[in-house]
Each structure stands twice: as C-alpha cells, then as structure tokens.
Amino acid sequence: MIIFIFYLYMSMAWVCHNVEVLCVAQEDGSLHFRHCPVFPQELADQLLHRMADEGVLNDRTVGIFQNLEHLRLRRAFIQSSQLSAEAFRLSLCPHKLQELNASHIHSSITISDVLRSLASNKLCRQCLQTLLMDGLRLYGEAGEESLQASFNMLRGLKKLSLAWTDLDDRGLEDICAIPMLESLDVSGTNITDLTPLLNCQSRLLSLTAHGLQKLEMPTSSFILVLSKLHLLRHLDISNDRLVMDRDNLQLLERPGILPQLVSLDVSGWRGVSDAAIQASVEDRPGLRFIGLLGTAAGGSELLRGDGHLKVAGESSLTQLCEALRRYSDRESFIREVLAHLYSHTSDMEEPQPHILKLVLAGMRHHTDSLHVQLVASACVFNLTVQELVLGMPLRLLGNVVQQLLAAMKNFPNHEQLQKNCLLTLCSDHILQVVPFDRSVHTHFLSALVTVHCWSGLTKRLSHTSLQLSTEEIAELGAEAFIMKQLLSIVQQKASLGVVDSTLKFALSALWNLTDETPTACRHFIQCQGIELYMELLESYYSESSIQQKLLGLLVNVFYVLYAKCILLHRSLSLSLSFRTFQPFYPLLHISQCSGVQLWALWAIQFVCRQNAPQYCNVLQSEGGTDILRVLSSHPDTHSDVKNLTENILKILERNVHPTSSGTKCANIISVS
C-alpha cells in the first residue's frame, strides 16, 4: 500500500509538470487533456491540490477541470494559485463542491467574485460546507460597496474562514444569517462589534477571533455576547496587543460561562494570573487546550501541559512546542515563542528533531520576516550544534539547510542573520552527509569571505567546493571577485610568512575552483595569480603541504588552458588542432617563471611541427611572432627558454605564407 501511494504521488507530480504536453489548447487559451480517463473523485481532488502546491495552477491549466464527466471535484484546494475570477467560475464552479480553499490567491479575485460564482450553481449553494478565503479582499473595483452575492445564499455552509480580510460589521451580519453555520474565523478583520453573533448562538460551535484590533465594544458587551454562545466548544480570542482589565477577567473567573469549551485561547492577554486560569480550567472539566502565550501565566503544576490538558505558553519546553504547533502562521506569536525557545535550547543534551521540525514550519510561514528568520536561525543552531546534529533525520536537515539558504538570500545585508545561518551550515556533518544544493552554499560563503573574512569561512569554502560538480565549480569560478579575495587572503598571509589553517584552506579553495574551470583559470592569471604562486614556491620551498597546493593549482591552470585551446576532431589523420594561441601568450611574458614559459613553448612547437603552414600563420596573424622575438632577445630569459623560442622562430621563417594567412586564420581562430 505504501509503495502504491508513493507511485501515485510521483505520478501526480509528473502530470503536474507535463500538463502542457498532455493537453491541447482551446480557443480561449485554456487546456484540455488530449485523452482523459475517468478519474475517481478523490484522485481528481488530489490532482487539483497538487497542481496548486506545485505552482502550476493558473487560468490555462485549470481548464482541464471543465471536463465534468471525467474529472469530478468535491474538495477544491486552490490556495496561493494564480486564478482569475473568470477562470474560477468556468472551471470549478460547475462542480458539486463540498469544500473550497481559496485563501491567498495571487490575483485580483475578491470575496465578492467567489460568492457570485458559487451562487451561480444551485448545487454549490446547497452542498458547499466549507469555505476558506483568508487574505482576500472583500470588494474589487473602487466604488463597489456591497457584495454581488450574499453569504447567506450558501445554505449548506458550516465552516467559514475570512481571516485577515477586510470583512466589516455589515459582512458579519450577513454571515450570521447562514442557517447552518457552525465554525467561523474572523481573525484580523475590520469588525468593530461582535453582537451579530447572537443570531447564530443556537448553532455556533467554534469561533476564532484572534487579533481583532478594531473592536470597539465595551468590555461588558463583549463578555455578554460571548457568554450567550452556550454551544461553543472552541473559542480563540487571543490578541497580541490586549492589556487586561478586571472586567475581561470575568470570562475566565465567572462560573458557568461557556461550559462546553474544549479549547480556549487567551494568548496575549497581558496580566492574566495562574489563579484566574486555574479557576477557568477547574470550571470546565472538558477543557483539553488552553493558550497562554504572553500572559505570564502557566507556571502552576496543573498547567504544565504534560497531561490531558495541552497548554501553549512559555513556562516550559512542552508549552513552547505546543505554541509552535498552534501559532506557526501568526508572526507576532511565533516571534515570541522562538525568543523563549532560544533560551530553553541553549544547553540541549539530546537531539530533538520534533522541535527542529516545528521551528522549520515557523520559518517557512514567515519567509519575509527578518525577526522570525533571525531568531529561528539561532534556535536551529542550538538544536544542531555539535553531536546533536547526528541525531537528526537527513531529510529534515536537508529541508532546514534549504530554508537557511533562502533566509540568507532574502536578507543578504543582515550580518547577524548571515552568521547565524552559517554557524549551522558550516557543520562538518551537514557538509559531508546532508543532501542540499552546495553550489548555492558556496556562493554565499564566497560572498561572505569577500565582505567579512570571518574566521572559518575560508575553511568551509574549501570543503564545500570539493563537493561541487564540474558545472557548479565552473559557475562559481565565473565570479572574478571570489578569485581576487582568495588571492588577497593568500597574499596577506604570505607577506607575514605564516603557515596557518586560513592560508591552507584558501589555497585549497583556489585549487578546487580552478579544477577543469577555464573561466576561473583565466581570472587567476588576470589577477596575477601565477606571479604570486611563483613567489610562494620560493618562499615556502620547505613546506611540502603548501607546495602541493601551489603545484596542484598550477597544473590545473596549465591543463585547462591547454585543453581549452585544443579542438578534438575526427579527421582522416585524427590529429589535434589549436583554435588559437591566445591563452598561451600571457604565459610567455618576461615576468613568468621559466617552467611556465617552457611548457607554453613546448605546446606551440608541438603543433607547429605537426602542421607548420597552418599554425605558423596563426602565430603571425595574432602577433605571436613578436612575443617570441621579445622573449628570445631579453637578457633575463633562461637559456633553455631561449633555445626553444629560437627553434619555433626557425620553423616560422620556413613556413609563413603572408598572402594566405588571413584566409586560413579566419577559418581556424575562435577566441572563447
């Protein structure tokens, strides 16, 4: 069964990312499957959900669901998709929908549009039971002051969520006329008065009213309305800006109010005491959850959260974990939870993967919040430091690493966040074992080495570059500033005559970055790297470990330049051909060491002997002849170099044909 579910999951992913290939476009631009079997209803729901999750659900692709005979929907999940009101109406509203999650759609679609479209289908009006539209605007065009369809037209609706919308008092009155409404979320809306809730007191079982900052009701009226909702089992009236007064405490202390409550959330009610909470809990024996974050309550034995009563608070690690679970989508609360969690995790002795997973969820919910990412990254370090990281699942660590890299990308100029993330990313276990995009990690390390030269970053750059593919190293080597900074570090250390870990790791990083990477080798030469390395070979002649790294890079440079200039082609003679000698000319400069010059001259002589007419003309047309003459006549030129140079010049004298050189060179020169 597990294998079947896995293959089904993978098949869904394949369909999502190949939907354009599997479909034909209609006149209106929407897509229809070329061949479509009859999908089981649950499978059709899953396909829509997966398309939304994968980010491929839009006005074109949603067209496949216009085929009601083969794709029948009941539970439509389109959260965070890119759907227009028209595409939503044409493709989804003809279905007999029972549930719809249209929260945070990234388009101009409004609550009014959704209601009007749903109301156009009698089956939706009667059968829709769950409707989530968090984060949408109530009205669309300027001047629209009323809904184009009424909430109470959805006669079968039982659960409605409009959190963080611009819902107002008039909209609440309309909602409270829905005949079967049992669950309502109006968190963060513009509601000023909750009195309309009395119209559904005989059926409302769950009310979430978190963060109602514009509420203008007198405390007595607020308590009165809530006290009359006798059937409530779930009540969330948390508020991160509420300062308690004596009247508010009546809700907790007065016996007999809301006796059916199973969960009560008053997080953010500043000034609530353990005594008031304990009285409230004892008066409601069925209570299974209470939210106390930011209240200063929760320290009593009854509220520890270890038993049947779960507590979201700050007095213990158990309470903090519950708060992470409950409040992952509430930025102000998650910030407070993470701040307390940091101090609770500073001396962990055992791995806690379940806590790390909760922290990761909070980071993912608030990728644009610097405060959340900053504190969460510090918590991640506490949870993965030293041996603790060994007890974490690799997949979880991989997800954490990707999130840390995303945070570094989103806030590149915040030094403390960068440090927090790198403290975790520089773990040897993570670098060696955890699967993640090391090229991205290395880019960040390189940039930070350039800007900050923090201790240990050069070491990590060396280690991570070892694990990159040739393509990834080539991409990294294209950044000239990385080469400049690493060479600068080497030069600084060499000027002091020291041999330390920073020098060794910088040399290793340079060695790794130039491995089969022509661009990096070119940057190395342009930054006078060869001259510097020649000096280092003399300065560190007795340091075998340094010599190895120096010579290893020089071999990389010479090999890459040679390979880059050679065009392997299958001709009748199966010979080797140079495109150009341009990469060799810097190696023939008077300032280069004789070993470098000899290597370049040997390569030129080899191909000139192989095909003298062709390559002599290349040398002539590119100005190589003049470079050779300067090298031959200079008094500091080594005798072996001078002899080899003169041999090439003799070959040139015998074989240059000026009249035809232009044509031949045009055919063979290809400077890359």
The predicted-structure confidence for 285-321, as pLDDT tens digits, reads as follows 899 999 999 888 888 877 877 778 999 999 999 999 9
Residues whose CB falls within 8 Å of the CB of residue 44, separated by 6 or more in sequence, listed in order: 65, 71, 72, 73
Range of the domain at 514: 437-568
Q: Is residue 185 part of a domain?
A: no
The conformation of residue 58, written as its DSSP 8-state character, comes to B
Residue 147, Cβ neighbours under 10 Å: how many? 20
Are residues 455 and 420 both part of a single domain? no
According to the model, what pLDDT value does residue 231 have?
95
Of 568, 587, 611, the residue at which a domain comes to its end is 568
What radius of gyration, in Å, describes the C-alpha atoms of the chain? 35
pLDDT tens readout for residues 333-354: 999 999 999 999 988 889 999 9
CA gap 539, 536 in Å, rounded: 5
Are residues 445 and 385 both part of a single domain? no
According to the model, what pLDDT value does residue 670 have?
29
Cut 0.75: pTM above it: no
Are residues 562 and 578 both part of a single domain? no
Q: Is residue 304 part of a domain?
A: no
Determine the residue type at 463: H
Of 117, 152, 187, the residue at which a domain comes to its end is 152
* CATH code, 487: 1.25.10
Q: Is residue 610 part of a domain?
A: yes
According to the model, what pLDDT value does residue 569 have?
35
According to the model, what pLDDT value does residue 299 have?
80
Q: What is the DSSP string of 244-294?
A: --TTTTHHHHSTTSSTT-SEEE-TT-BT--HHHHHHHHHH-TT--EEE-TT
Are residues 4 and 112 both part of a single domain? yes
Q: Quick check: 355 and 345 in contact, CB under 8 A?
A: yes
Are residues 544 and 625 both part of a single domain? no
Are residues 532 and 617 both part of a single domain? no
Q: Is residue 205 part of a domain?
A: no
According to the model, what pLDDT value does residue 599 have?
74
Task: Quote the number of domains for the chain.
Answer: 4
Q: Is residue 425 part of a domain?
A: yes
Are residues 492 and 635 both part of a single domain? no
Q: Is residue 583 part of a domain?
A: yes
Q: Single out the residue of 428, 487, 426 nearest to residue 454, CA to CA.
A: 426
CA 650 to chain centre: 62
According to the model, what pLDDT value does residue 471 have?
56
Are residues 563 and 614 both part of a single domain? no
According to the model, what pLDDT value does residue 40 have?
87
Are residues 335 and 472 both part of a single domain? no
CA gap 438, 494 in Å, rounded: 29
User: Which parts of the chain sit beneath pLDDT 50?
Assistant: 1-7, 448, 450-455, 566-576, 658-672
Show the CA angle centred on residue 335, arms to residues 333 and 341, nearest 5°.
Answer: 105
Q: Is residue 417 part of a domain?
A: yes
Are residues 476 and 441 both part of a single domain? yes
According to the model, what pLDDT value does residue 363 have?
95
Q: Is residue 551 part of a domain?
A: yes
Of 429, 453, 482, the residue at which a domain comes to its end is 429
Q: Quick check: 203 and 229 in contact, CB under 8 A?
A: no
According to the model, what pLDDT value does residue 376 have?
96
According to the model, what pLDDT value does residue 29 have?
83
Are residues 455 and 394 both part of a single domain? no
Are residues 445 and 503 both part of a single domain? yes
According to the model, what pLDDT value does residue 496 have?
84
Residues whose CB falls within 8 Å of the CB of residue 146, separated by 6 or more in sequence, listed in order: none
Q: Quick check: 313 and 297 in contact, CB under 8 A?
A: yes
